[in-house]
Structure 1
């Protein structure tokens, strides 16, 4: 990994021999990233230096202060400061004593000093850059899972959600997340996991609505080879995969009645048994669930077990729909998504006109944040120019009344279908198609070049 310095590296040389000091200064200054300052005495150094240097080299035999006293003072004043002692003495005992006092290195004055000093400072610089990189990555990891970065918004409704997420992250209890489709329930679960004591363990997510009923038991608990027709090998279930971590079951209300009983047993006994197996596997899993349903109403109707409901409820978090958040949240999300899609599609920065902003704020978003994101992505992909206008923004693209959207696809797939249709209709006349769709020719050419259409 090659680390590039962001700022200059400040080196101080304390040397009473002007000629020798200038020699060392010249040698180190050959690196343009180094700022090298020469001081003729310990007093001159302490009287002049105002900011902590990155490394200091000291002559062991200064006229105003001994090397060991100067080293002690530097270590006391700047804990952790790399100090290189340069001495005419070649005594091992002296070198060992100075290293014990906190010196980073000990060099003797000879024909190899310049080269040894160069390598010593280079190593110190590399270690310094590595520490900065580690801090940057740690901050990046923290920022990545900071609640405010996961769920953009400043409204009172979303701030209350952040407070509940913070409480959930500090406790080991199960968490039940409710809210309309598209409000970000899985993001909440991930945020809680990443900020909890289980953050080093796995986060495993499973959408119950996306699994055929006959496969749910195998997906959750796993199966042994030959347990049923088609079980050609052992399968590890989601509970085992999530051991020592968190299991997130989305759309828990879709869980078949027969599996509800088995799930309750697993949660009560904290162990799982694979389908077709006899071994009982101990579990240490935190369960988080999510649903857009009113689970209590499902309990009243007899479609969801009451005992399971209370077992998984734990700490409830209800996500507010986008229409109950303020206009500032809508615009914060819109601007964030727009910047993301401009980067993803390699487009110049786009801005929303005042009329486009008004249109975004006036809409009630039945599809919540997911719908806003999709609308912004479509506008970014098909925009022609540097601004997003109201005509570029399309809502309700998941409407079931439109045959084009009857089959659920990604926006990229829908865009491919549109471009493909027009290419066939107008015999690959890209300029005409660009005019018809009000998009740039480069967008179409790039899709053709990438094999997307």
Structure 2
């Protein structure tokens, strides 16, 4: 039980002297609050008080012990019930244990010591179970779609509708999107909002595991299966049994292993390396990639049969540049979280800083935005983050420069603007870098100012 919290124990015993005996044993622990009942009816009338544990005399004058146990379990399924009986009947004990009793103790000379230990273990187990359930509920709440994926843009609302469909069935989900768009976060949100939320979520980054180890990582191996296999290993698919396995960067998987993965998906069974035992598995599969798997199939780099097996429900994550003002919502979230985590005073973005964020295309997506905001919070002199503290990593290139259809003049202005920001508006240096005259730079700036002022 948690520190400083008493456990309520109901003692149900019709023999007055024996109920005093049981009460004395358990009262030696000051963390136990005891209540004694002499009939089954009394107990049932007080089950709404939700005790933490019940000791139950099997032979009560008014009610059959098995009937009482069934009543307790129907109302309080997680409360441990310890049966105490004057007769040591193995057949009855086995039957009661199968029906949900925690333990069966005969009334003999060892009852005192056995009861003390059984009660302590039962309460510790119940407390741990409750703690696990609370953690699972907290995790499920944490991954509610609206909490996990911040935004109010049309692209995000469209994504929410897809995710709501994904959680209603066990269909395989294939998540695509640029690097940094939050594919694993979405996979977790799908799992923890589904009926598998209480089962394992097992992520595997295919790109992060050496090719020669991936098969062992996914399917496991027997002791001595290969050099260095000193112990038996459970694979990720077995580990995820009943839950979900998330195969990130699936496009990086070797063709030979793709064939083995296909068999596992089709047969729903795995065989460890070096073993013969077939292990049935029941898992939901979620995959993700930033690559174009359809093109990889055409290029002979990905199996077509596996591609269609994994396609399932396609979920495309929008890049940050297509999410309108979501950039500012996410930036505020990252800023608030960072200052709280580092015990800093509250901070806010200036209008100029916001404008600068909105004008940038974020080739690194949400992951890049997080880094930019955290750096800005560290650089800021006070509570306000100015445009000067918003610094973009010049190593990152905007690979989607031509994603939008613009005029040549607009493209030229975009390039000039980018280099002016990069080199702190040093016109001479920008002219040198672009190999154009500085008068050309001034002319474009003046023309775009006129255009903007007339819009």
Q: TM-score range by the shorter chain?
A: 0.5 to 0.7
2:192 to 194, 197, 202: 194
Distance of aligned partners of 1:379 and 1:241 in 2 relative to their CA distance in 1, 3 Å threshold: same
Within a 5 Å distance, the mapping from 1:15-26 to structure 2 comes to: none
Q: Distance in 2 between matches of 1:277 and 1:358?
A: 60
The residue that corresponds to 2:291 in the other structure is 293
The residue that corresponds to 1:310 in the other structure is 308
The residue that corresponds to 1:99 in the other structure is none
The residue that corresponds to 2:378 in the other structure is 381
1:383 offset after TM fit, Å? Answer: 2.4
1:171 to 158, 163, 169: 169
The residue that corresponds to 1:337 in the other structure is 334
Indicate conservation of the 8 Å contact 2:172/2:312, yes or no: yes
Q: Distance in 1 between matches of 2:303 and 2:277?
A: 27
The residue that corresponds to 1:395 in the other structure is 392
Cα distance per residue 1:392-451 (max 9 Å; x no partner) = 112126549xxxxxxxxxxxxxxxxxxxxxxxxxxxxxxxxxxxxxxxxxxxxxxxxxxx
Cα distance per residue 1:138-167 (max 9 Å; x no partner) = 985553121011010010101111111110
**1:230 pairs with 2:228:** yes
Q: Distance in 1 between matches of 2:290 and 2:362?
A: 15
The residue that corresponds to 2:267 in the other structure is 269
Indicate conservation of the 8 Å contact 1:352/1:387, yes or no: yes
Indicate conservation of the 8 Å contact 2:364/2:396, yes or no: no
Within a 5 Å distance, the mapping from 1:239-254 to structure 2 comes to: 239-254=237-252
SS of residue matched to 1:166: helix
CA RMSD of aligned residues (A): 2.6
Cα distance per residue 1:265-295 (max 9 Å; x no partner) = 0001100011111111000010000000110
Q: TM-score normalised to the size of structure 1?
A: 0.58
| Matched pairs, number | 275
1:136 offset after TM fit, Å? Answer: 10
The residue that corresponds to 1:357 in the other structure is 354
Distance of aligned partners of 1:138 and 1:246 in 2 relative to their CA distance in 1, 3 Å threshold: closer
SS of residue matched to 2:233: coil
The residue that corresponds to 2:369 in the other structure is 372
Distance of aligned partners of 1:135 and 1:311 in 2 relative to their CA distance in 1, 3 Å threshold: closer
Q: TM-score normalised to the size of structure 2?
A: 0.57
Within a 5 Å distance, the mapping from 1:19-418 to structure 2 comes to: 141-327=139-325, 329-396=326-393, 399=396
Distance of aligned partners of 1:184 and 1:3 in 2 relative to their CA distance in 1, 3 Å threshold: farther
SS of residue matched to 1:190: helix
SS of residue matched to 1:276: coil
Unaligned runs of 5+ in 2: 6-47, 50-130, 398-455
Distance of aligned partners of 1:352 and 1:3 in 2 relative to their CA distance in 1, 3 Å threshold: farther
Cα distance per residue 1:8-40 (max 9 Å; x no partner) = xxxxxxxxxxxxxxxxxxxxxxxxxxxxxxxxx
Indicate conservation of the 8 Å contact 1:345/1:381, yes or no: no
Distance of aligned partners of 1:398 and 1:187 in 2 relative to their CA distance in 1, 3 Å threshold: farther
SS of residue matched to 1:204: strand
